[in-house]
Amino acid sequence: MKIKILFISTLLSAVGIAGCQTTGSVDETDIGIGMDGVFGDPSPSTYDYPTAEAGKSDRIAKSYYTAPPLVPHTVAEYLPITMETNECMECHDKPKIQGREYVKGKKLAMPDSHYGGFGGAGDEDEVSGAVYTCTLCHAPASDAQPLVENTF
């Protein structure tokens, strides 16, 4: 019985391998998901980041309610964010700013959810370590157009 099963499985494997062989080669430019190959996709256009200085730009509307706000000003001079230095805190740390109301030209304080030390168990005026690196969630806005229409 075992020999019969072994013989049949070997025979089926041989037939499967023989059926997979191609008679010709496929050009690498013809391989792709679409009908027009891999080189038919258009390249995205270039885009620019904002050049407005901090405090001189309008707030950008969120894509959805819980989305982190986009940064409407240039950030190059504030990077990199390290354990020793986070220049975002100079303007957006809540204890340094009175009120959360947005007014153009005024600094917007971080929300209460960003405070509480590591794990939220610390001082309520201490920035949480989980949100210390602002650029993990907050990206500078650009004028890039979407490659695919958003129907969300």
Give per-residue pLDDT as tens, 33-48: 666 655 666 666 677 7
**Do the domain assignments include residue 42?**
no
**For residues 8, 12, 17 and 21, what is the CA-based torsion angle, rounded to 10 degrees?**
140
Task: State the pLDDT at residue 21.
Answer: 57
Beta bridge partners of 71: 140
**pLDDT of residue 113 exceeding 70:** yes
Answer whether residue 9 is part of any domain. Answer: no
Assess if residue 97 is contained within a domain.
Answer: yes
pLDDT score for 103: 58
User: What separation in angstroms does the CA of 105 have from each of 1, 52, 93, 97?
Assistant: 85, 12, 16, 13
Q: Which domain holds residue 109?
A: 48-145
Q: What is the pTM of this model?
A: 0.58
The answer to the question of residue 34 being in a domain is: no
d(CA 115, CA 42): 44
Q: Could you tell me if residue 68 is inside a domain? A: yes
The total of structural domains in the chain comes to: 1
The mean pLDDT of the chain is 76
Q: Is 88 helix (H, G, I), strand (E, B) or coil?
A: coil
The 10s digit of each residue's pLDDT in 45-102 is 677 777 888 878 888 888 788 888 888 888 888 889 998 899 988 888 877 666 555 5
Answer whether residue 12 is part of any domain: no
Q: Report if residue 96 sits inside a domain.
A: yes
105 closest CA partner among 53, 61, 56: 56
Decide if 100 is inside a domain.
yes
User: Is 60 exceeded by the pLDDT of residue 5?
Assistant: yes
The set of residues, in sequence order, having a beta carbon less than 8 Å from that of 78 and lying 6+ positions away, is 87, 88
Residue 121: the pLDDT is 73
